Structure formats: structure tokens, C-alpha cells
Amino acid sequence: MQNIRNIAIIAHVDHGKTTLVDKILYFTNQFRENENAGELILDNNDLERERGITIVSKNVSVTYKGVKINIIDTPGHADFGGEVERVLKMADGVVLLVDAFEGPMPQTRFVTGKALGLGIKPIVVVNKVDKENCRPDEVYENVFDLFFNLGATEEQLDFPVLYGSSKQGWMSTDWKNRTEDFTDLLEAIIKYIPAPKVSEGTLQMQVTSLDYSTFVGRIAIGRVARGTIKENQPVSLVKRDGKVVKSRVKELQVFEGLGRIKVPEVHAGDICAVVGIEGFDIGDTIADFENPEQLEVIAIDEPTMNMLFTINNSPFFGKEGKLVTSRNIYDRLQKELEKNLALRVVPTESPDAWLVYGRGILHLSVLIETMRREGYELQVGQPQVIIKEIDGQKCEPIEELVVDVPSDVSGKVIELVTQRKGELLIMEARGDMQHLEFSIPSRGIIGLRNNVLTATAGEAVMAHRLKGYEPWKGTIPGRLAGVLISLDTGSTTAYSIDKLQDRGRFFVDPGVEVYEGQILGEHIRDNDLTINVTKGKQLTNMRASGSDDNVRIAPAIKFSLEECMEYIQADEYIEVTPQSIRLRKIYLTENERKQNAKKFQ
């Protein structure tokens, strides 16, 4: 029993968690000598690889000096905090990774607070000490202050610290003396992380994540808290509401390297996958058949934002996607609820629309992007923050925003954030960068990133996390400019776009099919303007020196899905299909927009 260690690797996004797991896998010889598994091995779905972030937590296991170490790689982004909260239940210790230059960031605080609250023992790794301008000693002090502010116990404050570079493949107790490998880190894990505590009693295992196989269906993954679970054993499944369902274990698997192997039984303290149990949800307890006892249900933070999901009813619906009906979309959202704990789906008055609640723009955009890649067509409305009434007062979610910018443009950033009801709390110099910390309403962050990146020529690094609910801060100005709206359905012409370029910036290229009511670009003024971009040049057999100019068109602005979500207003939708993302007005004709204008004021 003493030969197991369960650790979760936690950090802010981009501080090097997945790279660290890669190097541990290589160091413990999980691959053949002639096998090159590449980098970021655990980021195995397309979206994770494209964005360079972890979205779903993964389990692997390595063996070092006869000790089995179960490693859980967690997402670093606060939008996927629901993932972190549930997998920490499987760990006895955490390895907290901190960048040697940036130090603890807002999301580091978020996941560390969760881990310390569960009484988990931390090991701190100051990563990327090979970077220029790194300040490992200061960062160590910052981490200590962070732990103290989060109410860590004396035992947790007495944490071991290692320095190194995951990319270069070394970790050491002294950052000035470089070692060759990861021996120091693995030794520290065995020495400081306790073996799983096992209490006497009958079987208890909480389902903390799930997997799916086309052969056997849904697979429950979790840690055996006490007792032993065996193949073919009859068990009770205790649901969140206390209801008990009788079931039987068909097969058991434990993690080994990157895969899983079949075993006849699993003892308390180890993490395993259970095949054959039907109808389970995350947070349910697999317990003894005759005397089932429930484990404490996983508590998940509330969502802070919602968006309207509805069927695609644009003139182009069904041209690109196969799954377009309300039944298709509803079934897909229900399926997502099974594994995405921080998500909620609420029906609306319309049978074709649902309010989907999530943690933030990124959390919801990953769901939409996944759906469109699976062949779904849908439309989504403007993201709205969730307003609560606390002690008779209207309250809204407030975020802690951290921005690192070059000193010469810090003034522009402060101006942009204060326009959106942000308050500057801390301003300090870090090398040639300025470190700014604000308190800002969540609504103020929607659409802020684009403006800040434009104002700082792409140099700003932004991060934010939810702080709590505070009284309503008043109205925040929305988009400053109006939009250019298509008057007609047809194909855009270079001639028309060229003649209308002085009206604003376009989002579409020549030769693209558009429909009436579609948003084609941004107007230079604050009102919306309806334009015709399908008109071609009048061809005659007379030539005139003035009408034969070459057409010169500025490149169209291409928005990502998140940028679209931040850009649209209350009277607009994003149409999402497997091949296109289009912006449109909810009411497509000019007359309908005038009749319904009051709804959106």
C-alpha cells in the first residue's frame, strides 16, 4: 500500500504542466528507445493541440524505484475549473508549477486555493529558470505569500521547492546548479507526498471522471477510497440525491504509462477505471452491495455566464451541417452535461432555444467549436453575466484582472479598463514590463481583450479569475462603432466593396455568398448602415478614363469564434456551421429591425 503516490500537476495556463509530464514519461522509460512520441503527448484532442492549452484532465502512471506514481495533468485555465475541482479528489499531493519570471498568476491562485482547502500537501516547482529576466528567489517568496494569504496550514507552508526547466529536462533543489535529469523531483514526490490514507470498512469509490469506448460504453474513473473492488463484484451505485441502484462490475483497469491494463482487483488508494456500471454520473459513489455508504458529493463553483443556443434559421441553414434540428442540438447538450460539471442547460419559452450556463467565454466557445466540428449547425446569442440578488441588492460577478504590458503603453490599458468600470489596485514595474492588477465586472471583460491587444500592438498578457459577487457597478458602454449590414442576398463583388471601403472595415472577401441581414463589416460611425455589396459594375462598350481604375481592397478582418462572441451585441447572433462562422442581425429585414428596436434598448 505504501507503494502508491497520487499527485495532480496544477499551474496557470502556459506555465509548462503538460511539458513536465512529457519529460517524466520519457525519463521513466515509458517509450521504446526507437519511439518518438512527440511533444505535449497528453494534449491529444485537436482543439488542445491547436490552442496549446489543456481542456480535459488526463491520468497517466509511471513507476520509479518500485513506487507507482499516478499523475493527473489538469487544465490551467479558470474556465475549466470544474475539471480541476473534481480531479483533486483523487490526489494526495500537488505539484504546483510556477513560471520563474511571471510568478503566481490569478489562475494559480484559483487552483491552489482549491488544493489547500482539501488539505493536500504541495511541492512547488519554479519552472523556466532558463528564461531571460527570470527571478526564481522572488517568485519563491511570492508563492509563500500566496499560500499564507490562502490560509495554508503550517505543514503546507513548509513546502519543498525545486527549480528547473521542463523543456530542457532537469530539476534541482538549487537553480544555480543545473542537474542532468528529473531525479530530484521524483525523489521529492516519494519523500514528501504521503501514501494514500486508507480507512477500514466496506468498498467506497467516487466517480471523478469518465471515459467512453465504442465497445463497452461509458467507463467510470475514480480512486478507491476504502475496501477492495473486484471483477464481477455486485455493487451499489449511490446517486447524488442518495438513490441507490444495484449494479455489477464487469471489468477493472488500472493506469500504466499512457494506457490502462486489465486487473482482477484494485485496493484502496489506487486510481482505476470500472467497466459495466450503467447510468452513473460524476460525483456518484460506487459502494458495497449490501451496506452502501455515500461519500461527500463534489461541490462545484457556480457558472458566471450564460448564452442562448438556438437552431440555425438563416437563409443558408442546412447547406454545410448534417445535424441541424432542435432535437439534435438538445441531445448533444444533454450528452455534454454528463461530463462537463460546470455547465448547466435551461429550457426557454421557445422549444428551439436553450440558455447554456458556463464559467466564461472560453468554456462556452470550446463547446461550440467541438459541436461545429461534429457536424452541428446552430446560432448563439450575446454572452450575458448572471445577476444575483444578495440581501435585496442587485449584484454581479467581479473578476480580478492581471495585465502585463510594456511600460510605454500601460496608460492606454488603464484607460480602457477604467472605461469599463475597472479599478486599478496594483501597479508595479517588472523589468521593462508594467504589472497591473484591476478589479473589474465580468461584463467589462467581454470584448476587452481585442481592444487591449490593438492598443498595445499585441504585447499585452492578460489573465483573470472570478473574485466573487459585488453590488452592480452601473452601465458599461458597449461596442463603440455600428455595423455594415447586407441589403441583399447574393455574391459579394470586388467593385461594390471597393466603392464602400470609406464606410468602414469589411469582414468578408469578394466572391463570398451573403444574405440579407448578415453583418459584413464595422461602420466608421456609431450607427448601423445597410449596404448593397452584390452590385456589379455596369458594363458598356464605352470606355472612360475615370471608371477603369484598378480595384484595391484592404484584407478582410477574420474573427475567431471567441472574438465573435465578444464582438456581438444583444440584437445579433453568431451563425456557426462546420465550415463558416457568420455574424447576423436577429431580425434580417430593415422593417423588422425597426419594429423590434425597442426590445434591445
List, as residue ranges, the binding site for GTP.
14-19, 127-130
**Could you give the angle at which helices 410-419 and 448-455 cross, rounded to 10 degrees?**
160
CA distance 238 to 249: 14
Distance of alpha carbon 368 from alpha carbon 333, whole angstroms:
10
User: How many other CB atoms are there within 10 angstroms of residue 359's CB atom?
Assistant: 23
Annotated binding site: 14-19, 127-130
How many C-alpha atoms does 207 have within 13 Å on its Cβ side? 26
Q: How far is CA 266 from CA 60, 194, 228, in A?
A: 16, 19, 6
At what angle are helices 106-117 and 136-149 packed, to 10 degrees?
50
**Sign of the dihedral through C-alpha 309, 312, 314, 316:** positive
Task: Assess contact for 465 and 400: CB atoms under 8 A.
Answer: yes
Secondary structure class of 81 (helix, strand, coil): helix
Q: CA dist 139 to 103, 128, 244, 330, Å?
A: 5, 12, 49, 47
512 within 8 A of 581, measured Cβ to Cβ: no
Write down the H helix ranges in 135-261: 136-149, 154-157, 183-192
Residue 88 · residue 7 · CB < 8 Å: no
C-alpha to C-alpha distance for 15 and 52, rounded to whole angstroms: 11
Residue whose grid cell is 528547473: 164
Torsion angle, alpha carbons of 240, 242, 243, 247, to 10: 70
Grid coordinates belonging to 129: 529558470
Pinpoint the alpha helices (H) of 461-582.
494-499, 561-567
Report how far Cα 517 is from the mean position of its chain's Cα atoms. 32
Q: Could you give the C-alpha distances from 9 to 54, 111, 412, 463, 466, in angstroms and in order?
A: 12, 10, 36, 20, 21
Instruction: Give which of 456, 454, 455, 462 is closest to 436, Cα–Cα.
Output: 462
279, containing H or E segment: none
Q: Report the distance separating Cα 158 and Cα 161, nearest Å.
A: 10
Burial of 61 (0-12, 13-18, 19+ CB in 10 A): buried
